[in-house]
A and B are shown apart, each in its own frame.
Chain A
Amino acid sequence: MSDATGGTVAAASPAPAAPEGTTNQERVISIQLQTDLYFNSGIRDFAVNFIQNMTSLSEKWSYRFQSIVDELCNNAIEHGSADGDQISVNFAFTDTYVKVWVDDNGTGKDATTAAQLTTRLEELKVQNADPLNVALRGRGIVKIIQSWTDEFTYVDRPGGGLRVQVVKYLESARKEDEEMNAVEGVTFGT
């Protein structure tokens, strides 16, 4: 399966149509980040503020996206980018979804393809069946990112490197909030 730019799409599903009276016009914020873990706390803070100020998602989701964005950036810096390179961190939102994607240039010593990562993902899913049977790394993508997003996509970028993209639909987030609140009888943060 190929995307419009010729990259390989490991997994994808079409965005749902916007509900009546809303728009699916994406508004995008893109940030170039030097591949230095020092900057990750700043991008995490941005993610929290982005969700709180630009979307109608609950507070819980601002902290969830803090983790999602951090894990995406960590992977891009650790595996996909050489020291001194840059990654691109992108945030988009509409009335129906929030999308985040991180691009690296494939210059890292552990750079991998979308197909290789998809295989690795399946191995990690097996490991994560037991929370104690996971190495230091391995929870980020499988348990955190995939549990909290509706779409998770690897794409080989035509010029080299990877794009890792996640999408969360606002409606599914609200349903999860309602279900959690019904179980716990409380709202997040109380």
Chain B
Amino acid sequence: MTAIDIKIADLPVPTGRMVKVVTFVGSLDESNVDEHSKIIYDMLETLAQAAVVIFDFAQLDYMNSKSIGYLTDWYLKISDEKGGMLVLTQATPGLLDVLDTVGLLQIVRNFPTMDEAVAFAST
């Protein structure tokens, strides 16, 4: 199985809004995404209404098409079911290229830096 490490942290913001930062280290591919997607789905179960979820892709080297399918499903669950927002930050040029190609960057916002993502989540 390809290596992937997913860590979730709460980020306190002045508005009191729930903000979660999810850090991915490694690659998401056919060999690991089904198993590790459960980590995200478990988090979504506990997500408050109108929460902001920041996916930090700085150390995510690769996503295959099925992983992008999961990303789309997570986006829909956060926005449609929770009334919240999913944003990306620090995605590599290779990841941005593939996300743009499948049309996801028309829907999910990417911030070049974590500071910008946190500033957005704090408003």
B101 close to A (CB within 8 Å): yes
A137 close to B (CB within 8 Å): yes
Nearest Cβ in chain A — how far from B66, in angstroms?
A: 6
B64 close to A (CB within 8 Å): yes
Residue in A closest to B94 when the chains form the complex, CB atoms: A63
Interface residues in B77-112 (C-beta closer than 8 Å to A): 93-94, 97-98, 101-104, 106-107
- A63 x B97 contact (CB < 8 A): yes
- B76 x A67 contact (CB < 8 A): no
- A134 x B69 contact (CB < 8 A): yes
Per the bound structure, the CA–CA distance linking A64 and B100 in Å amounts to: 12
A49 close to B (CB within 8 Å): no
Per the bound structure, the CA–CA distance linking A124 and B6 in Å amounts to: 31
- A144 x B29 contact (CB < 8 A): no
A 28-44 to B, binary, CB cutoff 8 A, 1 in contact else 0: 00000000011011001
Complex contacts, B102 vs chain A, CB 8 Å: 128, 131, 139, 143-144
Complex contacts, A21 vs chain B, CB 8 Å: none
- A41 x B97 contact (CB < 8 A): no
Per the bound structure, the CA–CA distance linking A67 and B101 in Å amounts to: 12
A 69-88 to B, binary, CB cutoff 8 A, 1 in contact else 0: 01100100110000000000
Which of A40, A67, A138, A189 lies at the interface centre, i.e. has the most chain B CB atoms within 10 A of its CB? A67
A 42-76 to B, binary, CB cutoff 8 A, 1 in contact else 0: 00100000000000000010011011001100100
- A132 x B76 contact (CB < 8 A): yes
Q: How many cross-chain pairs have Cβ atoms below 8 Å apart between A and B?
A: 87
Chain B interface secondary structure, helix, strand, loop or mixed? helix
Per the bound structure, the CA–CA distance linking A83 and B100 in Å amounts to: 34
Number of residues from B at the complex interface, CB < 8 A: 27
B49 close to A (CB within 8 Å): no
With A71-B65, A137-B65, A140-B65 already in contact, the answer to whether A66 and B72 are too (CB < 8 A) is: no
With A38-B1, A188-B93 already in contact, the answer to whether A131 and B72 are too (CB < 8 A) is: yes
Residue in B closest to A129 when the chains form the complex, CB atoms: B103
B31 close to A (CB within 8 Å): yes
Residue in B closest to A190 when the chains form the complex, CB atoms: B93
Complex contacts, B76 vs chain A, CB 8 Å: 132
Nearest Cβ in chain B — how far from A62, in angstroms?
A: 9
- B106 x A131 contact (CB < 8 A): yes
Per the bound structure, the CA–CA distance linking A139 and B97 in Å amounts to: 14
Q: Chain A interface (Cβ within 8 Å of chain B)?
A: 37-38, 40-41, 44, 60, 63-64, 66-67, 70-71, 74, 77-78, 128, 131-132, 134-140, 143-144, 147-148, 188-189
| CB pairs A–B below 8 angstroms (18 shown) | A40-B30, A40-B31, A41-B27, A44-B62, A63-B94, A67-B64, A70-B30, A70-B64, A131-B102, A132-B72, A132-B75, A137-B66, A137-B69, A138-B69, A139-B68, A139-B69, A144-B65, A188-B97
